[in-house]
Amino acid sequence: MQLETIHNLTLPKIGFGTWRIGGGSSPNRLIDSKSLKALRTALEVGYTHFDTAEMYANGHSEDLVGQAVRESGKRREDVFITSKVTPSHLRYDDVLKACENSLRRLQMEYIDLYLIHWPSAGAKYEDTFRALNKLVRDGKVKNLGVSNFDLPLLKKAQSLSETPIITNQVPFSLSDRSYVKNGVLEYCQQNDILLTAYSPVDEGSLRSNKTLEGIAKAHNATIYQIVLAWIVALPRVIAIPMSFNPDHIRENFEAADIRLSAGEMEQLTNS
């Protein structure tokens, strides 16, 4: 697995996203066994970074992530957990309470990386970061980041955070390069911030083309693996694909070991 090291923090190029684990916007306990099987498979395959949020299944995703990690027997320090505070919880006291609730559901003493999930119109980010900075000082959160922030908001977050902003988690794929066009990717690469790509294969609805199929055939890989390989070949970019399918979970993980040539990278970028 390729790695990215930033501010003395090392993360795998590919982690495991958990949107839809435990349900959608509300819990669906009928799929708990399916969700736990996916998480257990990911842990067995070798994933160490798990990305969740209080918004996912209204917190039930965190329940299941915590359960799967405990049952795996892995040491807490060998697993990296990212979670997120919802935009409706950005007031000072609400941030502290949201984090406590996430820790309770995860049954963990700290969160490795805590993100603001979405910007919120009218949010007083000075108060938000006053709480986030306190969580870091208190050891309940190790690192801070943001998600879905444009460039001005990302710079504002940097100015308010007492510790480095580790990542901006945004949609990024072959078909969605909006955060390239708005300058966020370049800024992250130049300022030691990871861009974490979510929906990197368009939630499984990736459109194929001859270029993609040709490169996939040359590497004896799937088109999904090639797209992931293209994403994580970019400096300061990591990805968090998600799947319930055990074969796809393994294929996603192995995509980080595919080495694309400069020519193949250029073809995909221009496709």
Instruction: Per-residue pLDDT tens, the chain, 271 aa: give them.
Output: 899 999 989 999 999 999 999 999 999 999 999 999 999 999 999 999 999 999 999 999 999 999 999 999 999 999 999 999 999 999 999 999 999 999 999 999 999 999 999 999 889 999 999 999 999 999 999 999 999 999 999 999 999 999 999 999 999 999 899 999 999 999 999 999 999 999 999 876 778 889 999 999 999 999 999 999 999 999 999 999 999 999 999 999 999 999 999 999 999 999 8
Beta bridge partners of 198: 171
Residue 229's pLDDT is 97
Are the beta carbons of 82 and 112 closer than 8 angstroms? yes
Q: Is the dihedral of CA 44, 199, 95, 156 positive or negative?
A: positive
How far is residue 242's CA from residue 240's CA, in Å, rounded to a whole number?
7
- Specify whether the backbone of 225 is left (phi greater than 0), alpha (psi in -120 to 50) or beta: alpha
Topology classification of domain 3-204+236-244: TIM Barrel (3.20.20)
How far is residue 153's CA from residue 150's CA, in Å, rounded to a whole number?
6
**Domain range annotation of the chain:** 3-204+236-244
As given in the structure block, the two tokens for residue 249 are 């979970």
Residue 1's pLDDT is 86
As given in the structure block, the two tokens for residue 255 are 């995509």
Kindly report the pTM of this predicted structure: 0.96
Active site (catalytic) residues: 56
Residue 69: CB partners within 8 Å, gap ≥ 6?
43, 50, 76, 79, 81
